[in-house]
Structure formats: structure tokens, C-alpha cells
């Protein structure tokens, strides 16, 4: 990104003042090095978002941002329904509620070392992965609607998990306000055989070891210690979420034309929150969130089953589950008062600070866990939300490393087989459906996740707690 376009606010914060049709400024978080690595399109897209009706305070850009559909990925924006605020399908994205959850195991690296290859093989066998992969669970129309309303709660009622899991998932594992009738039959058909599947792209299931603790007191509250084995899952709402995005983007383009909403670009198609279309999209998008929560819950069950084959008495409690790619109604401080806003987080994580009422009671003192995924050969991180994040970006933080190059360019740079071999030499076992997919997701195709996390920590968007190192990675 061209730095001369930005005004420096602090070492970790930069801004583009409102100009032209922009209603609010753009605020970009990150070090100078991180921002220089962002493509110029991020500044353009964030400025376009700042022009949308009803936007409040600023259009925010997280340190892991990169070019996306309409909104930049790593973009955060809140809209006021009482000021003609809008909801944008492009501002949520196609992979609705793509997110990360991490499970504790109580194991140490020495416990899995003797069975590491067998564990990798069995995880790969039991977790359906890859483009269009199908699982063993097939839903009829009636059960599909129940899943879209119930989310992870529905999955646990079907036997895929434990009641206590719900306490460690945003919204208690069930997003209220979901409307299955607002989801097209095509979206439901695409999802009918995809429950409990990982998908492809940057989605993964990874066995990790806690490599370093940065804050002992908070790590203890989260029950994590150096040397612990944990398992992280990164995936979303699969075909259903993609189809909801596709369906509503078409409708929103027509709606914006009809209502004469001036769009800086077509991909920012949106509808007033209070309109019939806005309400229908919210109902469908919330159903997509529940689909993702149910999907990660079923994958959790499959992973627990595999671990219990090797360790019969293992329990594997859930540390936390966070969603990206959502629009949520939240209370935030505006001009000294409290206001309900519709907060879009596209490729960004909610990061409530200590004491927030929506944090589980036993984690309230720590702040909401923020789980940052790496990319096969790189570290992942655990952070917690801060009290400052509310003021800085509506309690939001980064979600991952963020791509540094396109998949097509990555394919020209690397061969999947060579990446798998080089990572194995470092003790990281990769099991993947496609070598092409491994090349597309090469670790160096992403920004340095450690730099991104450090930038988020220094900006006080979230506080760094622990580093996770990969041992086994199952890729789609």
C-alpha cells in the first residue's frame, strides 16, 4: 500500500481522512512493514465501505487485511439502523461464519510421538475433506431446517458433543433470529450431504503443541500450558453459506438500483437493515452461522472419536469457538451513550475485553479468547480481547495471517509434493486430498502470521497469550 496516502496516528494506527463521498475516515491498524505489504486495493475498498449509508465512526482495516469481494478481508464496519444503515452480503462474505475452534487434550508431545503417523492417518480417514466432499450425515428438509435454527445445540442433541461445549461457543452455539425459510432450496440441497466436512482452501484440522506462553496468568485461566497438545479446526458453512451469499448478492444489486443507493462499486451491493430484503438476508445469514457452528461441532465429535481410539479416557474439552464473516447486533458506546449497531466482521474476529457480559463466566477475567490460525507450516496464536478494542474497532481483531499472493501465483511458485516433504522434515505431517491445494495454501503464500499477531497486540486490538506450533495438519 502506498504510505503517502495515509496519515500516521501512532506506531500501530494510520488513517485516510474522509473525502469525496466518504462519510467516515478509514482507520488501518498495523506496523509500517505490515501496511506496506497490503495491496493498494485494500485502501480503495475500505474507502468505498466508508461511503455506505449509516456507517458509524470509521471503516476499519485489521493488520491481516487483503483484497476481497467488495469489503476487504480483514474489514470491520458498523451500521446504525436508525440512520438508514445497510447490511451487505459482500461485507459478510461467501463463507459465512468461517471460524476457528480449539480443543484441549491434556496430552503432551511425548504422548503422541509414538503414534503420530497413525494418528495423522486416522484423522485423515475419518474427516471428510476436499472440494464438495460429503460426510456420513445426510439431512432431509425437515432436519435441515432444525439444524439451521439450532446450530451447535442441534448437533449436540444429535449426539455430536457435550452440553458443556455450548458454554465455550459465541452465542452459546445457537445464533438467534435464523430463518430457514429465507434460505433457498438450492443452498439447502448443496448442504444436505456436507455436514461434518472440512472443505478445501485454507480450511484445516491441526494437531498443535503449545510452543510458548506470553502471559502465564491468563494462560492459566484458559487452562493452557507450555508443551500441551491442542487441536484446532478451521472451517465454515460450506456450500450453504456460499449459496446464501450468491443468492442475496444478486437481489441486493437490484435493490440498491431500485432505492438509488449510490454504490462506489457493484460488489458493495447492500440493502437497508430495516427493509424486507435486509431482514430476509439477516435471517438467512444467521441460519448460515448456525450451519457453520453445527459443522464445527460435528467435526469436533469426529476428532474426539479418533483421539479416544488411541487414548480411551480422553475428554478433550473445548477451549473456545470464534466466528469470522458475520454481521452481529451488538451494543457499543457512541457519543457517550449505548447504541445497538450491526457490526460486519469480514475476515475479522470478535474480541470482547475482560468483564464483557457475553464472555463465559469462567473466562470473564481473561477476556474473550481470540484464535488466530496459521497456514500448515507456520505458528498459530491464542490472544484475548482487550477493553481498549471496544473503542479501537468495535471489539474486533485479526483472524489469521492473510494472503500475501493469489492462489494462481502460489501454484506457479511451489509444488504440493515438495511442500509436504519439506514440512515432514521439520516434523510436521501433512495429509491432504490434493497436492494442488497444498501448493495453493503454501505457508509463504501468506503474510508472516507472527508479524500480524504482534501488530494486533501492539495496537491493543487483542492481547498475545500463547503460540501454537503445528505437528499434524489435515487439509482439504
pLDDT tens figures, 80-139: 999 999 999 999 999 999 999 999 999 999 999 999 999 999 999 999 987 777 888 899
What's the rounded Cα separation, in Å, for the pair 68 and 74? Answer: 9
Residue 142 maps to a domain: yes
Residues 6+ away with beta carbon under 8 Å from 158: none
Q: For residue 297, what are the domain limits?
A: 3-81+96-404+446-475
Residue 413 maps to a domain: no
List of the chain residues with pLDDT < 50: none
Residue 438 maps to a domain: no
Residue 327 maps to a domain: yes
User: Could you give the residue numbers annotated as active site?
Assistant: 399
* Total tally of structural domains belonging to the chain: 1
* DSSP annotation of 444: G
Strands annotated E in 347-451: 349-350, 369-372, 380-385, 396-397, 429-432
Convert the pLDDT of each residue in 316-327 to its tens digit: 999 999 999 999
For residue 423, the model assigns a pLDDT of: 94
Residue 293 maps to a domain: yes
Task: Give me 437's grid cell.
Answer: 491445494
Residue 432 maps to a domain: no
What's the rounded Cα separation, in Å, for the pair 302 and 336? Answer: 47
Residue 451 maps to a domain: yes
Give the HSE-up count for residue 41: Cα atoms under 13 Å, Cβ half-sphere. Answer: 13
Q: What is the CATH number of the domain that holds 144?
A: 3.90.1860.10
Which residues belong to the annotated binding site? 95, 202-206, 234, 324-325, 373-376, 380, 399-402, 475
For residue 441, the model assigns a pLDDT of: 85
435-474 burial string, b = 16+ CB within 10 Å, else e? eebbbbbbbebbbbbebbbbbbbbbbbbbbbbbbbbbbbb
Which residues belong to the annotated binding site for Mn(2+)? 95, 203, 234, 324
Residue 371 maps to a domain: yes
| Residue in 25, 32, 28 with CA at minimum distance from that of residue 11 | 32
Q: Contact 131/432 with Cβ under 8 angstroms?
A: no
For residue 136, the model assigns a pLDDT of: 87
For residue 218, the model assigns a pLDDT of: 97
Amino acid at each position: 500500500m502506498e504510505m503517502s496516502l495515509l496519515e500516521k496516528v501512532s506506531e500501530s494506527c494510520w488513517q485516510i481522512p474522509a473525502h469525496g463521498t466518504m462519510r467516515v475516515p478509514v482507520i488501518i491498524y498495523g506496523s509500517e512493514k505490515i501496511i506496506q505489504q497490503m495491496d493498494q486495493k485494500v485502501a480503495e475498498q475500505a474507502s468505498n465501505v466508508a461511503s455506505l449509508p449509516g456507517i458509524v465512526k470509521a471503516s476499519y482495516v485489521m493488520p491481516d487485511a487483503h483484497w476481497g469481494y467488495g469489503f476487504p478481508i480483514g474489514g470491520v464496519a458498523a451500521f446504525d439502523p436508525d440512520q438508514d444503515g445497510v447490511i451487505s452480503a459482500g461485507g459478510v462474505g461467501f463463507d459465512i461464519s468461517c471460524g476457528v475452534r480449539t480443543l484441549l487434550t491434556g496430552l503432551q508431545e511425548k504422548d503422541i510421538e509414538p503414534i503420530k503417523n497413525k494418528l495423522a492417518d486416522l484423522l485423515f480417514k475419518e474427516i471428510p475433506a476436499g472440494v464438495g466432499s460429503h460426510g456420513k450425515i445426510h439431512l432431509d428438509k425437515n432436519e435441515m431446517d432444525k439444524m439451521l435454527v439450532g446450530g451447535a445445540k442441534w448437533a449436540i442433541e444429535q449426539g455430536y458433543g457435550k452440553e458443556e461445549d455450548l458454554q465455550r461457543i459465541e452465542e452459546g452455539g445457537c445464533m438467534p433470529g435464523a430463518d430457514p425459510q429465507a434460505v433457498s432450496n438450492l443452498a439447502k440441497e448443496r448442504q444436505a450431504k456436507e455436514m461434518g466436512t472440512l472443505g478445501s482452501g485454507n480450511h484445516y484440522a491441526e494437531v498443535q503443541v503449545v510452543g510458548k506462553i506470553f502471559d502465564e496468568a491468563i494462560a492459566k485461566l484458559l487452562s493452557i500450558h507450555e508443551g500441551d497438545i491442542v487441536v484446532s479446526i478451521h472451517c465454515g458453512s460450506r456450500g450453504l453459506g456460499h449459496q446464501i451469499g450468491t443468492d442475496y448478492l444478486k437481489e441486493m444489486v437490484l435493490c440498491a438500483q431500485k432505492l438509488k443507493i449510490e454504490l462506489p462499486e457493484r460488489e458493495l451491493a447492500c440493502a437497508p437493515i430495516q427493509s424486507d430484503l435486509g431482514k430476509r438476508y439477516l435471517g438467512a445469514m444467521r441460519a448460515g452461522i448456525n450451519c457453520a457452528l453445527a459443522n464445527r461441532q460435528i467435526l469436533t465429535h469426529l476428532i474426539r472419536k479418533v483421539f479416544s481410539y488411541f487414548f480411551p479416557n480422553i475428554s478433550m474439552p473445548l477451549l473456545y469457538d470464534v466466528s469470522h464473516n458475520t454481521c452481529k447486533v451488538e451494543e457499543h458506546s457512541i457519543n457517550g451513550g449505548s447504541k445497538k449497531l450491526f457490526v460486519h466482521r469480514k475476515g475479522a474476529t470478535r474480541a470482547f475485553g475482560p468483564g464483557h457480559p457475553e464472555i463465559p463466566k469462567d473466562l470473564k477475567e481473561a477476556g474473550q479468547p481470540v484464535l488466530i490460525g496459521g497456514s500448515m507450516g507456520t505458528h498459530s496464536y491464542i490472544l484475548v480481547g482487550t477493553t481498549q478494542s471496544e473503542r479501537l474497532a468495535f471489539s474486533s481483531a485479526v483472524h489469521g495471517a492473510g494472503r500475501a499472493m493469489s492462489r494462481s501465483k502460489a501454484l506457479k511458485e511451489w509444488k504440493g509434493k515438495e511442500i509436504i516433504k519439506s514440512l515432514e522434515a521439520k516434523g510436521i505431517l501433512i495429509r491432504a486430498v490434493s497436492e494442488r491445494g497444498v501448493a495453493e495454501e503454501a505457508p509463504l503464500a501468506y503474510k508472516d502470521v507472527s508479524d500480524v499477531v504482534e501488530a494486533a497486540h501492539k495496537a491493543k486490538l487483542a492481547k498475545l497469550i500463547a503460540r501454537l506450533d503445528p505437528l499434524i495438519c489435515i487439509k482439504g
